[in-house]
Amino acid sequence: MGIAPPVLPQLYLRRRSFLALRHYSREVIRPHGNQIEGDTRLGTMPARQPVSAPRSSSDERLRKPIHNERLARIICIGAGASGLLLAYKLQRSFENYELTIYEKNDAISGTWYENKYPGCSCDIPAHTYTWSFDPNPNWSSVYAGSDEIHSYFNRFSDKYGLAKYCRMRHEVTKAVWNEDAGTWTVEVVNRGNQEKITQECDILINASGVLNAWKWPDLPGLETYEGKLVHTAAWDTNIDLRDKHVGLIGNGQVEPIRSSGIQVLPAIYPAAKKITTFIRSATWVAPVQGFQQRVFSQEERRNFEDDPDVHLEYRKTLETRMNARFPSFILDTVQQAGMRDAMTHLMKTTLNDETLEKLMIPEYPVGCRRFTPGINYLECVRTEKVEVVYGQVQRITQKGCIGQDGKEYPVDVLICATGFDTSYKPRFPIIGRNGVTLSDAWAIEAESYLGLAAHGFPNYFVFIGPNSPIGNGPVLIAVEAQADYMLKMIDRWQTENIHSFAPKREAVADFVEHTNNFMKRAVWQQECRSWYKKNSVTGRVTAIWPGSTLHYLEAVDQPRYDDWDVKYNGNRFAFLGNGFSRVEVDTTADWAYYLRNEDDSPFMSRGKRRRVFSRSGTIDRSGEEYYYPRFPGTN
């Protein structure tokens, strides 16, 4: 026979609840963050942001329960994919925060809004270019164009109500760290009316993109050209190429979305009368990521939408193949040799021209530069309509280009697919401790902590910073992992008595040393001109993670707090508060939540957790050599 629990007098319960609420829960909770008045789409707002509550002190925390959630004021720079993800994750998990996202453009979606050149698309399968939790069953084709991807992120924003955080046409021009206050002062210009805005925040997050500052080629005489001059990153949608002789400078690849020269050529091929393409160096060109481009049928799209399990299985198949490719980036592996043989055969078969083969098939390992998407590119290059000029352009004339051979090549339109600033230095001053700017700190080499933070810049994060997994496998899941890491650090800042946190100098130095050692056996460190090495041939690899994407997910799963220099507002144990738990303050909570009929608690070891989340033992790949890395000297 069970024993009935004691019955407490209702008066006691009411009085206890009243006292708890009155004395221990006075903070204001904002379930959806602070919403500042103004038109979020047009980006109108007061010139000076309202001053929020003062920072928590030890004495103030002594009057609150343990882990009291103080107000976190967060500014994010950029409303592209990363900025929108941050807003979603904050909204999903946090209370008592203010978030403002400043976006310089007229619309969200970052690079997918900016890049409108012909043929602009993603070079990884569209069904893998979504957030892991928000699939899109209605992609039109295996590889989606920029407009379709822009629409995906617009729908993502609308679905979760993220526009309220965004201030469009607002460009951040300066950010300064205030050591005494433990805050950032951010200066912004409203591009609509040129009004200057100043706002303080506790946490500053840079989501402006890996390569967001495009540049003209550094060639003498560029300003003298009398024809139509256009850069792929600032495409003139009114340009008419019909019956024109078009010059195209650049054939490189930098991001999943910016293999512009090789994407542009087949796209303009039908309209142009003739195309002269200037190729500085050879590059590996093959079907994008090994998956053939095709349009999905209505039946396939309907099947994906009606049966999420079928769609998930297809997504997993694509993602698995991308993750399985990583061993091909390691020197002297079976996979690297096989990839080289396959791509050499494909390029030779497609070009079928000894002269073009010598000019266009590289000597360096496959993957030293990012895989270059080549849908119909090689097929166009071998036709009479396309003229290939190999070597560095020497200068620009009024009529066209002087090639390395000294010959002038007149063209009616000159398209520059010449890339971006690859230094990782921000386009505006970010001034950290001791007045040091991030541009100066990264003047020689960009050295980050795990691709998401920088020494000397407290309470600051960057999405896809130096040595992030930008070319190691699927990229958006790495962005999700970075967002989760940032929020874990913000959670600790919000619930403890922390003034500031920044990665230690020795932690960054050790990470850089490990990365450099790893790169000695990877293809990225080999001799080829690549943006991975700041557009050099033999420089340090600053743009690639030292491992696979799956490796990165485990590396940043839990913060290594001993790598961080943490300063407190007084007593570090002030977060213990008044001796009460937030659970006790919540009269709707279960005050015996820890009791259960079986042990369903999280596993304490990394190994056990990994085996559980990866569903180890459920898949048999014993007969599939493709999936297994074959390193030199291993069985």
**What pLDDT, on a 0 to 100 scale, did the predictor assign at position 437?**
98
**What pLDDT, on a 0 to 100 scale, did the predictor assign at position 373?**
63
User: Cβ distance 246 to 431 under 8 Å?
Assistant: no
Does residue 187 have a pLDDT over 90?
yes
**What pLDDT, on a 0 to 100 scale, did the predictor assign at position 56?**
54
The mean pLDDT of the chain is 88
* Mean pLDDT value of segment 169-173: 98
Please list, in sequence order, all residues whose beta carbon lies within 8 angstroms of the beta carbon of residue 546, skipping any fewer than 6 positions away: 467, 514, 515, 518, 519, 522
Please list, in sequence order, all residues whose beta carbon lies within 8 angstroms of the beta carbon of residue 604, skipping any fewer than 6 positions away: none
Does residue 103 have a pLDDT over 60?
yes
Q: Rounding to the nearest 10 degrees, give the CA dihedral for residues 123, 127, 129, 134.
A: 170
Dihedral of CA 137/142/144/145: which sign?
A: negative
Q: Pick from 126, 212, 108: which is nearest to 168 by CA?
A: 108
**What pLDDT, on a 0 to 100 scale, did the predictor assign at position 40?**
37
**What pLDDT, on a 0 to 100 scale, did the predictor assign at position 122?**
86
Rounded Cα–Cα distance for residues 529 and 533 (Å)? 8
pLDDT band at 42, cuts 50/70/90? very low
* Mean pLDDT value of segment 393-400: 97
Rounded Cα–Cα distance for residues 67 and 574 (Å)? 9
**What pLDDT, on a 0 to 100 scale, did the predictor assign at position 292?**
77
Q: Identify the weakest region by mean pLDDT among 135-144, 203-212, 339-348.
A: 203-212
**Residues paired with 566 in a beta bridge:** 501
* Mean pLDDT value of segment 70-91: 98
Cβ neighbour number for residue 462 with a 10 Å cutoff? 28
| Cα 322 to chain centroid, rounded | 17
Does residue 252 have a pLDDT over 90?
no
Q: Identify the weakest region by mean pLDDT among 193-202, 363-372, 460-469.
A: 363-372
DSSP summary character for residue 18: H
Does residue 26 have a pLDDT over 50?
no
**What pLDDT, on a 0 to 100 scale, did the predictor assign at position 527?**
94
**What pLDDT, on a 0 to 100 scale, did the predictor assign at position 288?**
56
Q: Which two tokens stand for residue 133?
A: 């939790």
| Domains along the sequence of the chain with CATH | 11-104+169-212+423-568 (3.50.50.60), 222-416 (3.50.50.60)
pLDDT band at 290, cuts 50/70/90? low
Q: Which two tokens stand for residue 601?
A: 């608690």
* Mean pLDDT value of segment 499-524: 98
**What pLDDT, on a 0 to 100 scale, did the predictor assign at position 4?**
46
User: SS3 of 612, please?
Assistant: helix
Q: Which two tokens stand for residue 209?
A: 């993109």
Does residue 627 have a pLDDT over 90?
no
Instruction: Give per-residue pLDDT as tens, 554-606.
Output: 999 999 999 999 999 999 999 999 999 999 999 999 999 999 999 999 999 99
**What pLDDT, on a 0 to 100 scale, did the predictor assign at position 259?**
56
User: Cβ distance 181 to 156 under 8 Å?
Assistant: no
pTM of the model: 0.89
**What pLDDT, on a 0 to 100 scale, did the predictor assign at position 257?**
46
* Mean pLDDT value of segment 134-160: 96
Instruction: Give per-residue pLDDT as tens, 300-330.
Output: 999 999 999 999 999 999 999 999 999 999 9
Burial of 622 per CB tally in 10 Å (0-12, 13-18, 19+): exposed
**What pLDDT, on a 0 to 100 scale, did the predictor assign at position 196?**
97
pLDDT band at 268, cuts 50/70/90? very high
**What pLDDT, on a 0 to 100 scale, did the predictor assign at position 57?**
64
Highest mean pLDDT among 135-149, 379-393, 478-492: 478-492
Q: Spell out the long-range contacts of 585-593 with Cβ–Cβ below 8 A and sequence spacing 24 or more.
A: 585/20, 585/21, 585/24, 585/25, 585/65, 587/17, 587/20, 587/21
* Mean pLDDT value of segment 326-354: 94
End-to-end CA distance of the chain: 63
Does residue 5 have a pLDDT over 70?
no
Q: Identify the weakest region by mean pLDDT among 246-250, 364-368, 418-422, 439-443.
A: 418-422
Compare 479 and 291 and report the one with higher pLDDT: 479
DSSP summary character for residue 362: -
Compare 418 and 401 and report the one with higher pLDDT: 401
**Counting every residue, how long is the chain?**
635
Q: What is the DSSP string of 117-145?
A: -TT-B-SS-GGGSS-TTS--TT-SBSS-B
Angle at 564 between CA 96 and CA 31, to 5 degrees: 10
Q: Identify the weakest region by mean pLDDT among 4-13, 23-32, 101-110, 391-400.
A: 23-32
| Cα 164 to chain centroid, rounded | 22
**What pLDDT, on a 0 to 100 scale, did the predictor assign at position 623?**
66
Rounded Cα–Cα distance for residues 11 and 593 (Å)? 24
Q: Identify the weakest region by mean pLDDT among 143-147, 153-157, 181-185.
A: 143-147
Does residue 635 have a pLDDT over 70?
no
**What pLDDT, on a 0 to 100 scale, did the predictor assign at position 53?**
44
Radius of gyration of the chain (CA): 27
Instruction: Give per-residue pLDDT as tens, 443-499.
Output: 999 999 999 999 999 999 999 999 999 999 999 999 999 999 999 999 999 999 999
Q: Identify the weakest region by mean pLDDT among 142-146, 151-155, 254-258, 348-352.
A: 254-258
**What pLDDT, on a 0 to 100 scale, did the predictor assign at position 61?**
82
Does residue 213 have a pLDDT over 80?
no
Percent of the chain with pLDDT over 70: 86
Residue with tokens 């790949």: 621
pLDDT band at 209, cuts 50/70/90? confident
Rounded Cα–Cα distance for residues 306 and 312 (Å)? 12
Q: Which amino acid is at 272?
A: A
**What pLDDT, on a 0 to 100 scale, did the predictor assign at position 462?**
98
Reported in sequence order, the residue ranges of 362-515 that DSSP labels E, i.e. its strands, are 372-373, 386-390, 395-396, 400-402, 408-410, 413-416, 430-431, 460-462, 498-503
Rounded Cα–Cα distance for residues 42 and 585 (Å)? 41
* Mean pLDDT value of segment 398-426: 91
DSSP summary character for residue 469: B
What stretch of H or E contains 10?
Answer: helix 10-24
Does residue 535 have a pLDDT over 90?
no
